[in-house]
Amino acid sequence: MPANSILRDDFEFCHDQFFAHPGRVEPVEVSALRSMFLPRLTPEADKRLRDNHGFVQGQIKHYGVDYDKRELTGNGTKLLKKLLKEGKLDKEFLFKKYFLGPSGKPDNTKTTEVLAVPIPPSSHYRKGRVIDGARNVRGLYYEFGSRDTLYTGWDRVVVARAASAHGAKAERQRKQEKDERDRKRKSMYSDYMREAQRAKGEKGWSHVGRYIVDCKQIEGQWPEETKIMRLSIYETGHSDIFAASFNFGVIEGIMVLSSRKGVLEQYCARLDREDHYETATMTKATTTTGVPRVTTRKLSSTRWVPRGRPHVAGDGLPGTPKARPPGH
């Protein structure tokens, strides 16, 4: 995966394109899928399936279609053909079913209530197609109650009222989740302080541990993906050198922290020589080099190496971002 990619909820965004995972599958237009898979598979369809085993699952993710997981067998050909025949990948499917008459013209007697259309937040492709479908039905109004629900209907006032009510309900739910999050943080902080007091009596203070991180910029733009952002600090076996892995929902990586700039630069240079950041993976210490490392997931090759002395709120550990003990 390219270093400048953004990966979230099994979707990757890179160079103005969306890909579905696993398999890094690009979206294919429904008309092209039909020509490849109906009435029978073409050589192009065979090639797509052969080149990427996740092709079918990726297309279904792009279109945000719900299905019975038991139907996805083999390479998924039978399921995809079924969905194509039923028109469930068409952006017009919902609107044909609820708002258009047999002639294909708008029919305001077919569905008189407001229809709530759920949209997977991560499927921007699906969202754009649903909006286009609503725009193409003359006299139909639509409004988002939240970023994952589109309300549609024939009465603008009723649609707006339904969307507003959804927004108020979502706000109450967010407040309940925030209160629960704060409660958990306080509990975690109490546990942390008890452990810190015990550790201080046994072996003195240590920066090693798990921290909760606050960042208004990230939390404001991606509230659902950043409910609790964490940073974990590890020992490296070298004096004044710490390794820290972080996961902020929309971004994750590894940092090397130190209060001594020269020591930090020497340590990072040594890691560079060993091709450490080429794989962006920290592994356990080896007996041949004697350089301890930390095991974690494979990450982007972007370096996160603070070289100044920014302050970590709470305990004075040099490094970024602003972190604090759990619940503090």
Residue 201 lies in a domain: no
Question: Same structural domain for residues 81 and 117?
Answer: no
Whether omega before 106 lies within 30 degrees of 0, making that bond cis, reads no
Q: Is residue 242 within 8 Å of residue 233, measured between CB atoms?
A: yes
Residue 223: partners with Cβ closer than 8 Å, 6 or more residues away: 174
Annotate 227-259 with DSSP letters as a single string: SSEEEEEEE-SSTT-EEEEEE-SS-EEEEEE-S
Question: Same structural domain for residues 85 and 95?
Answer: no
Question: Same structural domain for residues 77 and 134?
Answer: no
Q: What is the pLDDT of residues 223-249, one digit of tens each?
A: 666 667 788 888 888 878 888 888 877
Residue 196 lies in a domain: no
Residue 198 lies in a domain: no
pTM over 0.75: no
Question: Same structural domain for residues 62 and 134?
Answer: no
Question: Same structural domain for residues 157 and 107?
Answer: yes
Residue 49: its pLDDT value, please?
93
Q: Is the pLDDT of residue 292 over 90?
A: no
d(Cα 174, Cα 177) in Å, to the nearest integer?
5
Question: Same structural domain for residues 211 and 319?
Answer: yes
Residue 174: partners with Cβ closer than 8 Å, 6 or more residues away: 223
Q: What is the pLDDT of residues 61-70, one digit of tens each?
A: 877 777 888 8
Question: Same structural domain for residues 72 and 10?
Answer: yes
From the list 51, 52, 33, 30, the residue with the least C-alpha distance to 42 is 33
CA–centroid distance for 232 within its chain? 20
Q: Is residue 287 within 8 Å of residue 151, measured between CB atoms?
A: no
Q: Which of 18-32, 43-57, 171-185, 282-296 has the largest mean confidence? A: 43-57
Residue 115 lies in a domain: yes
Residue 134 lies in a domain: yes
Q: What is the pLDDT of residues 154-195, one digit of tens each?
A: 999 988 888 888 777 777 777 887 788 778 778 877 777 777
Question: Same structural domain for residues 318 and 210?
Answer: yes
d(Cα 237, Cα 301) in Å, to the nearest integer?
23
Domain end residue (candidates: 177, 198, 217) = 177
The domain in which residue 138 lies consists of 91-177
Domain end residue (candidates: 89, 123, 141) = 89
Q: Is residue 257 within 8 Å of residue 242, measured between CB atoms?
A: yes
Question: Same structural domain for residues 218 and 286?
Answer: yes
Q: Is the pLDDT of residue 296 over 80?
A: no
Residue 249 lies in a domain: yes
Tell me which amino acid residue 269 is: A
Question: Same structural domain for residues 57 and 163?
Answer: no
Domain end residue (candidates: 68, 89, 110) = 89
Question: Same structural domain for residues 169 and 97?
Answer: yes
Q: How many structural domains is the chain composed of?
A: 3
| The length of the chain, given as a count of residues | 328
Question: Same structural domain for residues 8 and 40?
Answer: yes
